[in-house]
Amino acid sequence: MGRKYGRWEVIGSVGEGGQAHLFRVLDSTKAVSGERVLKRLKNVERKDLFDREIRAITGLQHPNILRIDDYELVGDSPYYVAEHCERGSLAKVGADRFRGDVRASLEALLPIVDALNAAHRTGVIHRDVKPPNILFRADGTPVLADFGICHVDGDRLVTLTDEAMGSVNYIAPEMESGRRLGPPTDVTDVYSLGKVLFWMISGGHIFGREDHRGRPLPEILGGQQFEHIHLLLDEMVVEDPRRRIPMRLLKTRLQEMEALVMGDFAPLKPSIGLRCRFCGLGTYVKHIGPKEQRVSRIGLQNIAGTDVRALVCTRCGHLEIFDFGATTDKTWWDQ
């Protein structure tokens, strides 16, 4: 193309977003080898936001956060130059690649959780976690990009008070115009990451607001073990930010969820009404409830401190027996 920005020569177009043009560039001085991507701001009036993005990225220096080589904020064409992530974005890779594959999904997302934790420790909240903003280097390393609407804790807010921030499909409710759920915090990014996780595992399905069970993963993927993902999403994609799991605990919880799904363990909540673990054809229904005398019909009895309950398969009669007197979780039976 021949156009230059400082020492950077444009060799092609990557495309454009709502606020910027993206170009493939080379360093004419040869000080930096290989292609880079130049992001040029469209509207100079949003230079404060652009400056915030640059300061956020250059101040983090994390292996899973986009690297910036150069920038220029003076003049009518503010820009920065960042590494070229050859494999493109998660949106470009597509959700089909991850459908039903928890391990592959977490290989992509766990490094992003590390990157977000690092950002949060410095007071930076991304606020726009979505598939187009997760990139992959040539070796497959995932990279968090586009801090264009990030919130810097303790810094002055440079966006309009009632401006809705982030993608409509992934935005946390506290970022929506007119909502009064508090300022952005680490759990703002937890909410969006939960929606990304569902999009990947489901093979590209998107749900409105918090309705991740509108079309449940066991139905989409044909396995009740995927309900473990919903149980985690119950703590991630929640309207009230105070009820969400903190980002600092999320990596461990994602790893626990992966172990439960990969081990094909039956989740408690969907054991009622979902496929039998024995015959695989029938479904479980409640058979013996709290303190019922007929527990003796299966050769058991309730004595002091016990509360025997049972589920039964509607096809083969397989029983799942629980002693609620010994369990620490007594809530799932009535859910």
Query: 3-state class of 195 per DSSP?
Result: helix
Rg of the chain taking only CA atoms, in angstroms: 25
List of domains in the chain: 4-83 (3.30.200.20), 88-267 (1.10.510.10), 271-334 (no CATH)
Burial of 292 (0-12, 13-18, 19+ CB in 10 A): middle
Two tokens, residue 271: 């054991």
Give the DSSP per-residue string, 201-232: HHTS---STT-TTSS-HHHHHS-GGGHHHHHH
Two tokens, residue 287: 């058979």
State residue 131's pLDDT score: 96
Q: Identity (one letter) of the amino acid at 248?
A: R
State residue 177's pLDDT score: 65
Task: Divide the 335 residues of the chain into consecutive groups of 10 and give the mean pLDDT of each group.
Answer: 89 83 95 94 83 88 95 91 96 97 98 97 92 96 88 52 61 80 91 98 96 94 93 97 97 98 88 84 90 82 84 94 86 82
State residue 178's pLDDT score: 60
d(CA 134, CA 88): 9
pLDDT digits (tens, 9 = 90+) for 292-328: 878 888 888 888 778 889 999 999 999 999 988 888 8
d(CA 268, CA 213): 16
d(CA 271, CA 137): 41
Instruction: Kindly report the backbone phi and psi dihedral angles of residue 245, in degrees, each rounded to the nearest multiple of 5, phi listed first.
Output: -70, 135
Query: 3-state class of 161 per DSSP?
Result: coil
What residue has token string 């690092």? 118
Contact 98, 91 (CB under 8 A): no
State residue 152's pLDDT score: 75
State residue 155's pLDDT score: 53
In the sheet where 308-313 sits, what is the strand order?
A: 284-288, 308-313, 319-323
Sequence-distant (6+) residues with CB within 8 A of 139 are: none
State residue 255's pLDDT score: 98
